[in-house]
Amino acid sequence: MFNLRKTTRARNSNALLHHVAIDQDLCNWCGACVSVCPPDSLFLYEEWLAIDHETCTRCERCVKMCPVHALHMAAGSPESTPS
Ligand code: SF4
Ligand code: SF4
């Protein structure tokens, strides 16, 4: 698993305001969110969903698409919400 968090904070100050958070316990890896993400910021690794916070534009399409509400917008930087 790669760690995007350091580059996220360094390159994208908007990440300090809000970000997409993943509840890995709710996610059933259906892939619906991956298919609607314009910049391809979501990645499925078998039974784990990852997000590239650096390329995510926070459009919230994935949040609205998820059938089990495993995604939500969280305040602060990605470091504040494990995913
Ligand atoms: S908020 Fe938008 S850009 Fe970010 S992961 Fe979700 S669909 Fe992709
Ligand atoms: S749409 Fe929801 S349940 Fe499906 S992979 Fe994305 S976060 Fe997981």
Instruction: Look at the block and give the residue holding tokens 């619906």.
Output: 32
C-alpha 66/C-alpha 15 separation (Å) is: 21
CATH fit for domain 5-80, picks 1.10.357.10, 2.40.50.140, 3.30.70.20, 3.40.140.10 = 3.30.70.20
pLDDT at 77: 86
Model confidence band, residue 9 (pLDDT cutoffs 50, 70, 90): very low
Written as six digits, the tokens of 45 are 């690794």
Q: Whose CA is nearest to atom 3 of ligand 1?
A: 56
Residue 81 CA, chain-centre distance (Å), reads 10
Beta carbons within 10 angstroms of residue 27's beta carbon: 19
Residues with CB under 6 A from ligand 2: 27-33, 49, 65-66, 68, 70-71
For the chain, give every domain's residue range. 5-80
Residue 69 CA, chain-centre distance (Å), reads 13
Task: Return the minimum-mean-pLDDT range out of 14-28, 46-60, 66-80.
Answer: 14-28
